[in-house]
Structure 1
Amino acid sequence: MLSGDHLDVDVLRRELVRPGGLWQAVEVVDRTGSTNADLAERARRGAPAGSVLLTDFQDAGRGRQGRTWVAPRGSGVAMSVLLRPSGVDHSRWTWLPLLAGLAVVEGVRRAADVPAVLKWPNDVLVGERKLCGILAERVETPSGPACVVGMGLNVWLSAEELPVPTATSLALLAAERGPGHRPPSRNALIATMLAALELLVDRWEDLEDDSLFAASYLRRCATVGRRVRVLLAGGVEVEGHADAIDDSGRLLVRTPAGLQAFSAGDVVHLRNG
């Protein structure tokens, strides 16, 4: 690990928790298997919406399609948040992981000054290298359905510690800028990302027109406008040109069989030509 910093729960609570705000509880645990699994279980036991769970070491982190990974202690942000949108039809909840991706992009741009973008649906990239992954899961609770959103941001990982060769970390990106550059603290990153997510969720709850969020997402999306391969369940693959994001957050891909809309799937960016 290139360096590290300390997660300070008191600092995070002062920055995030306020009366009437989205974030109502912040907890940091020393170690866990998965913050998403833990927070989902707490939600089933009645944890309030706006709960935030972080850990310094996660040994069974989960991604899409059941992928798992382990990162060195203190090397990144492993965080899950519990959302229960107020007065929002469940059909619109497909936007929650996309809003989380947009919040991470805006947060790291502001806090770390790196040109982060989105690969649909919610992988955060710098160039073509993955910086952060996001996983959203619906959970049934005593107060009704809720959504747990997990975010895993690479901060202090060295090149040898990256989960895949196509990933990167804020420390590596800072080193590329020259001596004296280093990432902001994880506390600053977390506070900035969650402040951005609060603003986005508040606006999304207030508005019924998701076309505004589709436009905001498109401005940070590196997928639209290029050739892609969409990997679906069961080994199905679809290739075509990513044309747009619709008002439901789906990726519209023009294929030889016509325009197809995807609400889920892994995307591979291909060379245009």
Structure 2
Amino acid sequence: MLSGDHLDVDVLRRELLRPGGLWQAVDVVDRTGSTNADLADRARRGAASGSVLVTDFQDAGRGRQGRTWVAPRGTGIALSVLLRPDGVDPARWSWLPLLAGLAVVEGVRRAADVPAELKWPNDVLVAERKLCGILAERVETPTGPACVVGLGLNVWLSADELPVPSATSLALLAAERGPGERPPSRNLLIATILAAFDLIYSRWEVLDDDSLFAASYLKRCATIGRQVKVLLPDDVEVEGQAEAVDHDGRLVVRTATGLRTFSAGDVVHLR
């Protein structure tokens, strides 16, 4: 592990909790299985929209398709947020992981000065290397449906600690810039990412026009214009050129047989 830094709940609360803001509660736990699972349990017990849960170590982190991973203590950011979109058509909720991706990209660009981009639907890349993954899960609660959005951001991982060789961390990216370069603290990264999420989500919640968010997403999306392979259930693979992200957040791919639209699936960028 490269040299890490300390998560400080007082700093995070001071930076994130403000009157009229999205974030209503911030908790940091030393260790857990999954922040998404824990926050889903809290949602069922009545936790408020805008609850944030951060951990220094999770041993059952989950990604798409049920994948799991474990990162050494103190090397990354593992956090989840609870959202109860007010009066928003549930059909629009598919945008939530994409909005989170936008927030991560903007936050990382501002705080760490790295050229982060999006890979549809839920990864953040730097120079084609995965820096962050995002998972959104709908939760049924006694007061109505909610959504838990989790993210895992590689901050202090060394090369041999990365989950896959094609990943990277902010510490490795900083080292590439020169001796003595370091990433920002995890407290600053969390505060900057969630401040961006607050701004993006608050606009999305009141504006009934997702074309605005599709345009913002396209500006940061490395998938558009690329030859891609979309991996679907039952070992189905579709190849073509990614042409757009539509107003519903779906990927539009031009294949040999015409345009196809995907609401979910793993995407491989082909070189």
User: Separation in 1 of the partners of 2:143 and 2:109?
Assistant: 35
Q: Give every structure 1 segment of 4 or more consecutive aligned residues whose post-TM-superposition deviation is greater than 2 Å.
A: none
Query: SS in structure 2 opposite 1:200?
Result: helix
Residue equivalent to 1:197: 197
Query: SS in structure 2 opposite 1:199?
Result: helix
Residue equivalent to 1:114: 114
Pairing 1:139-178 to 2, within 5 Å after superposition = 139-178=139-178
One-letter code aligned to 1:222 = A
1:241-266 CA-partner distances (Å, limit 9, x unpaired): 10111000000000112100000000
Deviation at 1:176, TM superposition (A): 0.2
Residue equivalent to 1:245: 245
Residue equivalent to 1:91: 91
User: Separation in 2 of the partners of 1:106 and 1:181?
Assistant: 21
1:30-81 CA-partner distances (Å, limit 9, x unpaired): 1001000010011011111100001001001000000000000000000000
Query: SS in structure 2 opposite 1:22?
Result: coil
User: Separation in 2 of the partners of 1:186 and 1:58?
Assistant: 16
Residue equivalent to 1:226: 226
Report sequence identity in percent.
Answer: 83
Residue equivalent to 1:269: 269
User: Separation in 2 of the partners of 1:258 and 1:61?
Assistant: 38
Residue equivalent to 2:128: 128
Deviation at 1:234, TM superposition (A): 1.3
Query: SS in structure 2 opposite 1:93?
Result: helix
TM-score normalised by structure 2 residue count = 0.99
User: Separation in 2 of the partners of 1:50 and 1:142?
Assistant: 17
Deviation at 1:140, TM superposition (A): 0.8
User: Separation in 1 of the partners of 2:142 and 2:47?
Assistant: 9
User: Separation in 2 of the partners of 1:46 and 1:208?
Assistant: 27
Verify: 1:36 aligned to 2:36, yes or no.
Answer: yes
User: Separation in 1 of the partners of 2:234 and 2:150?
Assistant: 25
Deviation at 1:142, TM superposition (A): 2.0
1:189-228 CA-partner distances (Å, limit 9, x unpaired): 0000000000000110111111010000000000000100
Residue equivalent to 1:7: 7
Deviation at 1:115, TM superposition (A): 0.1
User: Separation in 1 of the partners of 2:233 and 2:50?
Assistant: 32
Residue equivalent to 1:180: 180
Which runs of no fewer than 5 residues in structure 1 stay unpaired? none
One-letter code aligned to 2:17 = V
Pairing 1:23-102 to 2, within 5 Å after superposition = 23-102=23-102
User: Separation in 2 of the partners of 1:122 and 1:3?
Assistant: 28
